Amino acid sequence: MGASLGRTGAAWRQVLLLLCLWLAAAAAARASSLERAPWTPAAYPNPQRDVGACGRRGVSSFLCDPDGVMSYDAANLAEGLIAQVERGEAPYTRAPCGAGLQGFQIAVALMRRLQVDGSQSPGEAAAAFARGLHDAWGVGSGACDNGVVLLLATRDRQVYVSTGRGAEAAGLSPAALSRVMDNMKPALRGERYGEAVLEAVHELGLLLAGSDVPAAGGDGDGDGVGVFAFFASIVAAVWGWGWWSNRKRDQRFKRAQRQLEALKRDQAALRRGQYKTTTCPICLDDFEGEEGGGQGAASGGAAAPSASTALKETAPLLSGGTQASAAAAGNSPSGSGAARAPASPGAPPTPRRGPPLVLACGHSFHAACISEWAAGHTTCPICRRDINEEDDGGARARGAPPPPCSGGAPPAAAAAARRDLWMPELLFRTRRLGLMYPDFISTSMTDQFLQDLESDADLSHAALARFEARHPARERAAELREAGRGGASASFGGGHGGGGAGSSW
């Protein structure tokens, strides 16, 4: 009886094994049947006519991606960038065409595989395909043939750029196209196809505007940062070329970013008992010879000038009521309810370099900053101690506190004393960040950072992420992506191809 049951169990296991193998084979066969046949020029959809077949969610487009080579969001970014080239917005340009000036049209055709006849090489097939689409779609103006078609076949590892005579004359020589395709190859080899397309569209637009495109720095696979981190750099370059106001905004964000990083480093240095003031708490610029802040021993550094004497000599020479004075006046030495200065997202302030001036209380400032404050106040803006008090040891080392306790104090007591002295300075700097950069650091972010510092917690990751989301390049990329979501901003104009170049990877 037992032997019979054993044979039955073995038979069932064989049946189950055969069933699993059959299901696997059926799944493979189904996947094979769903693999799209190689595309031919006649079958490939037109993005402005076959709007439901190009992966653009039913809108007319300059880009066709029926196989889903790019993500939808990346395609929107590319569409927005193509529209900028077509409109000739800086750093791109318009050129004489017919009776006036026109931008250049760039169309993109993406696919997994293209059909290669027995008499063709894959490169020849890609060239014929791209040129055929160029003529069939009519990319560019019929008056000057200023169109470009970028074709990418990922399984065949082929890229080809077809150019009209006007586009070639404007700067798209075969040698220039080769540089563009070489610059695409690291992303193509890493299968970051969206990044490669964005790179190509941007560089084609620059070449058409008469700008140079440098050769690729290497053939590595890149660092895989992804299309949106990559595109942030392109967007920063695009807007930075054209509008001074955006350049100023970029500079202001970078300053806020550096100063927030310095705050994080100084918080860590205070925990280690190594905090040293290297940044003026009012203007948030480094003192002369200092970069980054928060590094070094608490008692290190060069001797500072005598505080009370220097302050009395310099304060009358400076006018009161400045922005620095008003902003500092709005800050209390503790708590998070500081008054906020009016938003002024203009040019970044000119950095104030110079040695620090150390008050009797131990807090250090640029001489100009604290003198402006002293024109209308008699106390330290951080701790409210009288700034006219004589210090007890003459000039003190930069950033070194007055001895808070006897040398024989337990380590815990010494650490608490250091925190009591320097934490108000970190809180003051945090409020200054919010006052100086309200367009990047909101009131809620400032309050969260203050709460984190007071509770000795790391600065909130969520608040830091909200700050990074306000990066001007990210914001403008989002605007461009939203514009691209609406599809093509114009129609193909009846242009023809004739020139071009191709490559493989």
Q: What length does the chain have? A: 505
Average pLDDT over residues 406-424: 72
- Where residue 294 falls among pLDDT bands split at 50, 70, 90? very low
- Where residue 335 falls among pLDDT bands split at 50, 70, 90? very low
- Where residue 412 falls among pLDDT bands split at 50, 70, 90? confident
Burial class (CB in 10 A: 0-12, 13-18, 19+), 251: middle
Average pLDDT over residues 41-62: 96
Average pLDDT over residues 217-223: 44
pLDDT at 33: 41
CA distance 371 to 444: 31
pLDDT at 245: 53
Helix (H) or strand (E) holding 500: strand 499-504
Question: Are the C-beta atoms of residues 107 and 492 closer than 8 Å to each other?
Answer: yes
Q: Which amino acid does the sequence have at 241?
A: W
Query: In what order do the strands lie in the sheet containing 63-64?
Result: 63-64, 105-111, 147-153, 158-163, 499-504
Average pLDDT over residues 202-230: 67
**pLDDT tens per residue, range 301-310:** 334 444 444 4
Question: Are the C-beta atoms of residues 105 and 59 closer than 8 Å to each other?
Answer: no
pLDDT at 262: 92
Beta strands in 277-419 (DSSP E): 356-358, 364-366
- Residue linked to tokens 């009131």: 443
Extract the tokens encoding 20. 């699993």
Nearest Cα to Cα of residue 263 among 287, 292, 291: 292
CA distance 363 to 171: 59
> Which residues are within 8 A (CB) of 17 and not within 5 positions of it... i.e. 6 or more apart?
none
> Which residues are within 8 A (CB) of 183 and not within 5 positions of it... i.e. 6 or more apart?
199, 200, 203, 213, 215, 216
CA distance 322 to 320: 6
- Where residue 351 falls among pLDDT bands split at 50, 70, 90? low
- pLDDT at residue 296 is higher than 90: no
> Which residues are within 8 A (CB) of 440 and not within 5 positions of it... i.e. 6 or more apart?
252, 253, 256, 467, 470
311 or 480: which leads in pLDDT: 480
pLDDT at 416: 78
Burial class (CB in 10 A: 0-12, 13-18, 19+), 485: middle
In percent, the amount of the chain with pLDDT more than 90 equals 51
Question: Could you tell me the CA-to-CA distances from 26 to 19, 29, 32, 37, 107 in Å, in that order?
Answer: 10, 5, 10, 19, 39
Q: Which amino acid does the sequence have at 205?
A: G
pLDDT at 154: 97
**pLDDT tens per residue, range 243-291:** 445 678 888 999 999 999 999 999 999 998 888 888 899 999 888 765 5
Q: Which amino acid does the sequence have at 177?
A: L
CA distance 84 to 86: 5
Through-space distance between the first and last CA atoms of the chain, rounded to whole angstroms? 66
- Where residue 397 falls among pLDDT bands split at 50, 70, 90? very low
In percent, the amount of the chain with pLDDT more than 70 equals 70
- DSSP notation for 306-335: PHHHHHHHHGGGS-SS-HHHHHHHT--SSS
What is this structure's pTM?
A: 0.57
Nearest Cα to Cα of residue 170 among 129, 211, 134, 225: 211
- pLDDT at residue 355 is higher than 60: yes
- Where residue 16 falls among pLDDT bands split at 50, 70, 90? low
pLDDT at 302: 39
In the chain, the domains with their CATH numbers are 63-242 (3.10.310.50), 248-471 (no CATH)
pLDDT at 493: 94
The mean pLDDT value of the chain amounts to 78
pLDDT at 132: 97
> Which residues are within 8 A (CB) of 447 and not within 5 positions of it... i.e. 6 or more apart?
336
- Where residue 470 falls among pLDDT bands split at 50, 70, 90? confident
159 or 14: which leads in pLDDT: 159
pLDDT at 26: 61
Q: Which sign, positive or negative, has the C-alpha torsion 72, 75, 81, 86?
A: negative
Beta strands in 40-193 (DSSP E): 63-64, 95-97, 100-102, 105-111, 147-153, 158-163
- C-alpha count within 13 angstroms, C-beta hemisphere, residue 242: 15
- pLDDT at residue 34 is higher than 80: no
Q: What is the CA radius of gyration of the chain?
A: 32
- pLDDT at residue 395 is higher than 50: no
pLDDT at 4: 54
- pLDDT at residue 292 is higher than 70: no
Give the helix ranges, DSSP H, for 50-101. Answer: 72-87
CA distance 323 to 253: 19
CA distance 69 to 39: 14
